[in-house]
């Protein structure tokens, strides 16, 4: 994505996850809210096939506020979720590492940047047996889509 601030360690963590995975998988990062620095906007998402809308993936939540629930807050189930790998349907283009093998088999993503193109690629990868995950500790800073327009 061209309007993010990357956490450099996030790239290294995604590469390490890919290298140690038993099979190729798409690895993404979480979105931190650029306008509200203590907020993790999204941990990972799924697509509801009944109405084709996105929602938080199992064991994920929207808008986690680290100022209220710190990463090491052992009294909060909300904070415990932050340490899990999240299995998702797609990773937003803000941070999505696509292994070469996947790109060679499926082809490149659609050559345009509109809503749902990232979702389409994740769903297409799943149809070919490739998993998609969002990695805890890998994140970028981005304006929340709810704040755009």
Active-site residue flag, 118: yes
CA–CA separation, 60 and 8 (whole Å)? 23
Strands (E), 13-130: 25-33, 39-42, 45-48, 53-56, 62-65, 86-88, 96-97
CA–CA separation, 86 and 8 (whole Å)? 20
**Which one of the listed residues 2, 117, 118, 147 is annotated catalytic?**
118
Catalytic annotation, residues: 118
């Amino acid at each position: 994505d061209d309007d993010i601030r990357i956490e450099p360690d996030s790239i290294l963590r995604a590469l390490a996850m890919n290298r140690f995975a038993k099979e190729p998988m798409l690895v993404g990062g979480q979105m931190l809210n650029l306008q509200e620095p203590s907020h993790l906007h999204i941990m990972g998402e799924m697509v509801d096939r009944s109405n084709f809308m996105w929602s938080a993936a199992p064991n994920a939540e929207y808008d986690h506020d680290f100022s209220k629930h710190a990463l090491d807050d052992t009294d909060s189930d909300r904070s415990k979720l932050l340490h899990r790998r999240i299995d998702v349907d797609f990773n937003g283009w803000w941070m999505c590492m696509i292994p070469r093998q996947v790109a060679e088999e499926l082809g490149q993503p659609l050559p345009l940047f509109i809503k749902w193109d990232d979702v389409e690629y994740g769903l297409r990868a799943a149809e070919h047996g490739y998993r998609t995950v969002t990695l805890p500790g890998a994140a970028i800073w981005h304006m929340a889509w709810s704040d755009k327009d």
